Amino acid sequence: MTMELTSEFSDGGPIPLVYTCDGQEVSPPLTIEGIPEGTESLVLIVDDPDAPSGTFDHWVAFDIDPTDEIPEGVEELGVAGRNSTGGLGYVGPCPPSGTHRYFFRVYALDTRLGLPEGASKAEVLEAVRDHVLAEATLMGTYAR
């Protein structure tokens, strides 16, 4: 069985307003199915490759205890990495123009990363190399 990531929006579908800067800007609930045996931690990365100044990192979290449910509006999730605003935690979709794609990616790892809070997406992705047991992607869209 492969790992699957789902939410209240379908893959390729629009992200509901409540999860964006035009709504309450809370993180959407996520369901992870098929986490492989031997998973020690999860990594979650949400980014927007369509941002005008290059990929915008909306959420970076790592060393998440294996779980099949990430609740809506979660305040603390594993260890918080740095998003593109320079802060920690979730930043909702807020494209300046046009329709943007938002990729939610979860990685099941055979280890914990042990990186410090505020690690960048690049640092996290470098650390996961050779430790990924499975991964899943969910893409949502948003336009203002």
DSSP bridge pairs for 111: none
Average pLDDT over residues 95-120: 97
The domain 4-143 is placed in CATH, from the list 3.90.280.10, 1.10.3720.10, 3.40.50.300, 3.30.565.10, at 3.90.280.10
Q: Collapsing DSSP states into helix, strand and coil, what is residue 19? A: helix
Residue with tokens 């305040």: 75
Instruction: Give the residue extent of every domain in the chain.
Output: 4-143
Q: pLDDT by residue (tens digit) across 58-98?
A: 999 999 999 999 999 998 999 999 999 999 999 999 999 99
Give kind and range of the element (H or E) at residue 122.
helix 121-128
Closest CA to 58 of 69, 47, 68, 67: 47
pTM above 0.85, yes or no: yes
Tell me how far the alpha carbon of residue 41 is from its chain's centroid: 14
Mean per-residue pLDDT over the chain, rounded: 97
High-pLDDT (> 70) share of the chain, %:
99
